[in-house]
Structure 1
Amino acid sequence: MTADLEAALADFARALEADLAARLDAAPRPGEIVRPPRLLAAMRHAVLAGGKRLRPFLLVEAARLVDPGLTPAALMPAAAAVECLHCYSLVHDDLPAMDDDALRRGRPTVHVAYDDATAILAGDALLTLAFDLLADPACHADPAVRAALVLDLARAGGLGGMVGGQMLDLAAEGRFGTAGADPDEAGIRQLQAMKTGALIRAAIVMGARLGGGKDADIIRLGRFGEVIGLAFQLADDLLDVTSTTEEMGKAVAKDAAHGKGTLVGLHGVDASRAELERLVTEAADLLAPWGQRSDMLIAAARFVADRRR
C-alpha cells in the first residue's frame, strides 16, 4: 500500500468512525420514540470496531474523481449508509444459522458478545439506518439523486445482489436438504459478484452519482467496481488458504471446511494470483480517461489485490 493511500485510508476511517459514533448516540431523532440501550450497544459493537472502511472510501474517491471540489465531509451521509449496510451483512452472516463465526475484526461477533436475537435486531436496525441516511436531505439536496442512491444500494444489497448471493452460497453448501453441487467457474463468479462485488460496485456508482457524473462516467466506474469487487473476493479466498486466524482477525480455512467452490479451489493459488494482477491492470485501464486524478483509486485497486487481512 502506498504511503498516500495508507494515510488517506487512515484519515478517512477515523472521520467515518467519529461520524458513525455520533449517529449512534442515545438521543432519538425526529420521528423516533426511544433508542433501546442494549440494541444501541450491539449496533455500536458492530459498527465501531475499526476496519478498513474500504467501501465508503471508494464511494468518496469515486465522487471526488468526477468532481475534485467535493469534500469527504459532504459525502459522509452516503458513505455512512454504505458502511451501515455492510456491517449489517456481517452481523447476520456471522450468526449460527449462517456462517457461525465467533470472531470479527479480532473481537467477539455480535451474537457472541450479546445474543442471537439482539444480533438479528442490530442487523435489522443498521440496514434500516442505511436507507434513513440516504433519504435524508442532508445526503444530497436533489430528491432525484437521493432516490437513485436508494435504488443503487437496495438493488446491490437485496434479492438480486448481496442477499441473493448469500442464498446461493448456502445452497452450494447443501444447506437445504440436498447435496451441494460443485459450481463451475461461471457459477462461482456469479455468486461472488452478487455476495461481495455488488456492494463494492454500488459504492463506486453512488460516488459517481454524487459527483454529478454523466451516464458514461457511471457506466465506466461501474465496470471498475465490478472488477475490483472480483479482485476483493479473489484476494479474500487466497487469504482463506494462506493466512492465519491471528493475521485475519477472523476464522480462516472456512471455504474448504464448508465445501465452498472458489476460484482459488478451482485454479490454484498461482493462477489466482496471476488473475489478480490481470484484474488490477484492467481496473487501471478503466480509469485512464481521468489521468492522474485516478491515482488514488488505482492505488486502492492495488491494495485490494495485495491486502494481507
Structure 2
Amino acid sequence: MPELRVGERVWSVDAGSNLLDALNQAGVAVPYSCRAGSCHACLVRCVQGEPQDNQPEALAFAQREHGWRLACQCQVSEDLQVEVFDPRRDGLSATVAERDWLSPTVLRLRLLPERALRYNAGQHLVLWTEQGVARPYSLASLPEEDRYLEFHLDCRQPGAFSDAARLLEVGEPIRLGELRGGALHYDPDWHARPLWLLAAGTGLAPLWGVLREALRQGHEGPIRLVHLAHDATEHYLAPALDELAARFPNLSVDYVTGAELPDFLAKLRLVSRQTLALLCGAPASVEAWSKRLYLAGLPRNQLLADVFVPHA
C-alpha cells in the first residue's frame, strides 16, 4: 500500500485512492467544489512522488513544473509527499470592504485586494478566512467598472464558509486563492447573436458580470436573462436588472420561481438556432435547462455551463 506524507504525518492508503478523498478522510482539510478539475479549489503541491493525473491539461505547464496538482483529479499510485495550499504563503491578501444582505439568504461580500487583480467576467476565486476555511466563489464584479471584488454567497443552508462569512466585519482580512476561468465568459464575436443567460440562485453572480460585460461592449443581438429562485423574495438583483432592461432595449429579464419552472420550461422556445446559452446554478437546474434547450434545437456546442456543487 502506498504511503501519503503531509508534514510530519504519514499514513497508508489503498492504491488507486482518490488523492482529495485520501487527504480529507485523514483530516487534512483540502477545499473543493466541482470535483471536475474546473474550480481549482483543491490545489496541492507534490513534493516527492507522482500521482496518476487524470486531467493534466487542467493546469498550466508552469504550475505542473512546480509540482501543483488538482487533488480531485489524481489517484495515489506510489508513495507521495504533499504540501497543501497555504493561503498565507501562496495566496493574496484582501480586506472586507462591504458586506450586506441582498435578500434574506444572499450575502454580498465586497473585498479590496492588496493589489489590483486582472480578471474577466465569469471567473472565480477561492476565498480563505483567517481560520483556514475555504470555498470557491464566482466573481460578480467587473474590473473596468467596479473598485471591489464582489461575491454573492448563498446562505440558505449551513456551510463552513458561509457560516464564517456571516461573522465577518468590515476591515477584517481575508485571503484569495487562485484565479480561475470557468466555462462562462463573453466573446466579442458574439455581438450580433441572441444571448441567453440562465441563472439559478447565486448562479446569477457570474452572469451578472457577463451581462454587464456584453452591454459594455455594445452587444447588438437580443439578450434574455432568466433568474430562477426559490420564491419571489430571492430575486435579489431585480432592481438592478430592471434598471438595465429600461436602459437597453435589447435586454429582457424573466423572474421564475421553483414552482413556476416546469411551466416555464414547457413554453421555452428558441428565437434562433444561432442562440448562445450560458447557464449557471445547482446541478438539477442546469440539467433541466440543458435538456430543454437541447430538445428545443440548441446545438450542444452553443451551450456553456458552470455548475455549483454543494459542499458535503
Normalised by the shorter chain, which TM-score bucket?
under 0.3
Taking CA–CA contacts closer than 8 Å with sequence separation of 6 or more, which of the two structures ends up with the larger relative contact order?
A: 1
TM-score normalised according to structure 2 size? 0.26
TM-score normalised according to structure 1 size? 0.26
Q: Answer 1 or 2: which has greater helix percent.
A: 1
